[in-house]
Amino acid sequence: MTHRLYLPAMAVASCLGLGKAATIGPLMAGDRSGIGRRDGFLPGRSVPLAGLPAPLPPLPDHLGGWDSRNNRLYALLAGEIAAEIEAAKARFGAHRIAVVVGTSTSGIAEGEAALAHHGATGGWPEGFHYRQQETGSGAAFLAGLLGLSGPAYVVAAACSSGAKAIASARRLIRAGLADAAIAGGADTLCRMTVCGFTALEAMAATPCNPMSANRSGITIGEGGALFLLSPDAAEIALAGLGETSDAHHISAPDPEGKGALAVMDAALADAGLAPGQIGYVNLHGTATPLNDAMESKAMAERFGAAQPPASSTKALTGHTLGAAGAIEAAFLWLTLSRAWNPEGWVPPHVWDGVPDPALPALALAVPGTRLAGPAAISNSFAFGGANCCIALAGGGGRP
């Protein structure tokens, strides 16, 4: 059994930018200019959303039957790490590389457009196929695009899907069913998601404000991230993973944060890390009243007075739902990378600066805050208590 896996390659896209080079500057500057008001998602009004900053290229003709915004995003991400994927195919064989990705929306936007067309004309649009919106299409598409024939499937566990896909990929490798894996997740904007969270009264009327006394809900975004998981040593290690399923409520978290505490403890134990070795925490930080309250309690319980620097990057990217766990793990990767982040900055926590006196105080990062230890964790919490925590380790802390 492989004791530790590594992440030699990573691709990321969000409203901050397409690719690592476009992302690192806005991430460390706390740039939230990618969040803007959009029409066409809610009847009769605009809503703040975090969309990708540029169009996505079309798919190759021979894969056109898989066309969806989600799959176009996967193709873009795969292109960023194409050389590393080809090297892995040569090293391990195409049949020994798995594909595991997470999503919640898949190609629902294409299904929405097709249904509207059917309602207006009585027929489906030319070229539309159910596979374009099917939840599992992303893994099958990526396997076809990359010429991989190992296990390929999709994890759909709401807002922890992208993180749980990475955990699932590690299990496949440790079980001997694959030698390496492409893992991550992607989600793209669609009306169903925006209308659904609006119906739940979970959407903020202005860009989200995590951990503030004035927080009022989420901002939805789109994006994705992919990783190559390999047993071959690299700068960034997948040090540990924790998963829990506390099932406190179908949508609300345990108000005492027991599930959040348990999943952080599981990741730390799996990584063999003490709390004092954690140099940064990427909070789930949705800016909903219940989530931020319970996560603060869990952080206070685990780290006590010696809180590590922490931030919710959802203030920059919006909540990317099924992709959030993968994107925020990508932000850990960038934070820990000496090549991409030689000064050791951590992403700042962007909010209105008004603390909630009912919440335990956290060490919310300001611009210029540096890593305080050699490892970092990212929290992902989902409906039904489907929680995941990822621990990455880099080349050590910076002074």
| Segment 92-117, tens digit of pLDDT | 999 999 999 999 989 889 999 999 99
pLDDT of the residue at 48: 97
pLDDT category of residue 257 using cuts at 50, 70 and 90 = confident
DSSP string computed for 331-376 = HHHHHH-TTT-TT-B-----S-S-B-TTS---EE--TT-B--SSEE
Return the CATH number at 128.
3.40.47.10
Query: For residue 325, what are the contacts with CB-CB under 8 A and spacing of at least 6?
Result: 102, 159, 160, 161, 162, 163, 164, 165, 166, 185, 378, 380, 388, 390
Is residue 312 included in any domain, yes or no? yes
* Structure tokens given for 209: 């404000």
Q: What is the mean pLDDT of residues 253-274?
A: 92
Q: Indicate whether 55 pLDDT > 70.
A: yes
Is residue 399 included in any domain, yes or no? no
| C-alpha span between 394 and 398 (Å, rounded) | 11
Q: Indicate whether 399 pLDDT > 60.
A: no
Domain tally, the chain: 1
pLDDT of the residue at 396: 34
Q: What is the mean pLDDT of residues 300-311?
A: 96
The range of the structural domain enclosing residue 232 comes to 5-393
Could you list the active site residues?
159, 284, 319
pLDDT of the residue at 331: 98
89, 157 contact by CB (below 8 A): no
Q: 49: closest CA among 194, 257, 147, 233?
A: 194
Q: What is the mean pLDDT of residues 162-167?
A: 97
Q: Indicate whether 251 pLDDT > 70.
A: no
pLDDT of the residue at 2: 46
Is residue 398 included in any domain, yes or no? no
Q: What is the CA radius of gyration of the chain?
A: 20
Q: Indicate whether 193 pLDDT > 60.
A: yes
| C-alpha span between 112 and 270 (Å, rounded) | 42
238, 7 contact by CB (below 8 A): yes
Is residue 389 included in any domain, yes or no? yes
Q: 387: closest CA among 256, 255, 241?
A: 241
Q: What is the mean pLDDT of residues 121-150?
A: 92
Q: Indicate whether 232 pLDDT > 60.
A: yes
366-384 residue pLDDT tens: 999 999 999 999 999 987 7
pLDDT of the residue at 256: 83
* Structure tokens given for 55: 């169009």
Q: Indicate whether 1 pLDDT > 90.
A: no
pLDDT of the residue at 397: 33
